[in-house]
Every structure is written in structure tokens, then in C-alpha cells.
Amino acid sequence: MKGIDPALSRTRSFTRRGDRMPRTHQAAWDRLAAQAVLDVPRPRPGSTLVDPAYRLDPEQVFGRQAPLVVEVGPGSGDALVHAATTHPEVDFLALEVWRPGIGHALAKMGEQALPNVRFVEADAAPVLTTLLEPGSVHEVWTFFPDPWPKNKHHKRRLVDAEFADTVADLLPPGGLWRLATDWAAYAVAMRQVLDPHSRWELVGTDRAPLRPVTRFERRGTEAGRSITDLTYAVR
């Protein structure tokens, strides 16, 4: 349809749930976004894409050379803020398509933005094909992506063969992709994609070391869903 961002055909349910935030999250956005949320070139105003000609320079963004972790869909920022606080020597780039989610994560930081965290408001699947130099990322995290539980929506799930190639391009040999889900069917689907993939090797099923137990996770376990953690390394 003319005038509609093509990314919305895949991400409509979580791209435009509305940009209104609770007062505390909006205040955090107003206070911290100028420092923590990157102003990237867009193909057009309001797009969740990034101009494919743009290449982000982490050394320029963070003002130093440091290992870079990319989190896809940080949600309310629990893992992101915990990890960045615990490991100030590591830089974290979070791609989140939903602006209120970024506001929530910013609110967790308090009065000051964490100097080793930056956000890009964007749909990660297309954007990560061009945003970063190949092999420039230390780890990629994808914790609790939208499970799209209805069969007719499975094609919208983030973790597919195409995205697996995108993530593999970001990492050097041995670089890690950490995933977690509380939907057993999605865990099976992840393994069906990644176990036979020529570029990935399953190296662990233990809980990611920097992933805290969140309220979201507790709700899943209280509802009777088990948590699956998967760690893959680039061959």
C-alpha cells in the first residue's frame, strides 16, 4: 500500500501499538533520549527502517574501542541495564522497534543514561543487514522474541534462516548468539532453523550468564511455560 513502511507488513502488531508512555517512562525519554537514542538517517520520516547506505561506527558512537553486544528487542531493558551496569567495559547496542519499550528501559537507568548503552529505534531484521560492519559484534542477544503463537503468523517470527544468516554475518568465527523463549513450540522452531544451519553450532543450553529473572519471565513460568535458553556459535 502506498505510503506504508514495508517493514510493517511483518511487524504490525508490535510496531504500532501506540507511542504513548506512562509518565515516568516519558520523563526518562525526555531526559535521556538525546544521549542514549541514536539519531539515524531514515528512508522517510516515521520509518522503522534505517537508510541502508548508513553504517554505524561503534567507536565513534561510544567514544572508545570495546567489545560490542547487540540486543535485538530489549523489551523493558532488564537484561540490558543489568548487563551494562555489571560490565561497564562492554558496549551495548539495543534495537527496539517499540518506542515505549525504549522509554521503559531508559527509566530503569535512573537520572543518568548509562554511557555504554545506545538504542536504535528500528526493526532489527532488515536493519542489521546493513547497519554494522560484518564481524564487528562480540555477541547478539535475542531474549523472548514475539512467539507469534498462531500457525498463520509463524512466518512473522524473527528467528528464521534469513535472520540467522544476518546474525552470522555480524559475528566473527566463535561469536555467540544467545536466545531465550518461554514458548516450547518456538524453542523447537529455533532449533529446527539453527541446528542444521551450516553457519551455526549449538554450544550450550544453560541460562545466559547475564540474563536476570524478569517479571516477564516469572509470568511465563507461573503460567506453566518452561524457559529454554540456547547459545549458538558461528562456525
Grid cell in block for residue 196: 542444521
Mean pLDDT on 30-39 = 98
* pLDDT tops 80 at residue 8: no
pLDDT at 217: 87
| d(C-alpha 204, C-alpha 48), whole Å | 33
191 CB-contact burial (10 Å; exposed 0-12 / middle 13-18 / buried 19+): middle
pLDDT over 70 (residue 7): no
pLDDT at 2: 44
Examine residue 5 and state whether it is found in any structural domain, yes or no: no
Please check the confidence at residue 235 and state whether its pLDDT lies above 60.
Answer: yes
Averaged confidence pLDDT in the chain:
92
Task: Give the pLDDT of residue 19.
Answer: 77
| 146 has catalytic annotation | yes
Residue at 3 is within a domain: no
Report yes or no on 12 lying in a domain.
no
The per-residue pLDDT for range 155-195, each reduced to its tens digit, is: 999 999 999 999 999 999 999 999 999 999 999 999 999 99
Q: In this structure, is residue 199 part of a structural domain?
A: yes
Residue 78 is assigned to a structural domain of this protein:
yes
Q: Identify the band that residue 220 occupies on the pLDDT scale cut at 50, 70 and 90.
A: confident
Q: Please give, one letter per residue, the 3-state secondary structure of the chain.
A: CCCCCCCHHHHHHHHCCCCCCCHHHHHHHHHHHHHHECCCCCCCCCCCCCCCCCCCCHHHHHCCCCCEEEEECCCCCHHHHHHHHHCCCCEEEEEECCHHHHHHHHHHHCCCCCCCEEEEECCHHHHCCCCCCCCCCCEEEEECCCCCCCHHHHHHCCCCHHHHHHHHHHCCCCCEEEEEECCHHHHHHHHHHHCCCCCEEEEECCCCCCCCCCHHHHHHHHCCCCCEEEEEEEC
Q: Among the listed ranges 15-29, 97-111, 217-231, which one has the minimum average pLDDT value? A: 15-29
Q: Is the residue at 9 inside a domain?
A: no
**Residue 214 — very low, low, confident or very high, per pLDDT cuts 50/70/90?**
confident
Identify whether 224 is part of a domain.
Answer: yes
Q: Number of structural domains, the chain?
A: 1
The pLDDT score that the predictor gives to residue 9 is: 44
| Residue 11 pLDDT level (bands cut at 50, 70, 90) | very low
- CATH, residue 82: 3.40.50.150
Query: Is 17's pLDDT higher than 80?
Result: no
Active-site choice (57, 123, 146, 182): 146
**Residue at 4 is within a domain:** no
Q: How far apart are the C-alpha atoms of 208 and 79, rounded to whole Å? A: 10
The confidence score (pLDDT) of residue 18 equals 61
Instruction: Tell me the residue range of the domain where 110 lies.
Output: 19-234
CA 133 to each of CA 64, 128, 171: distance values in angstroms, whole numbers, following the listed order: 16, 10, 9
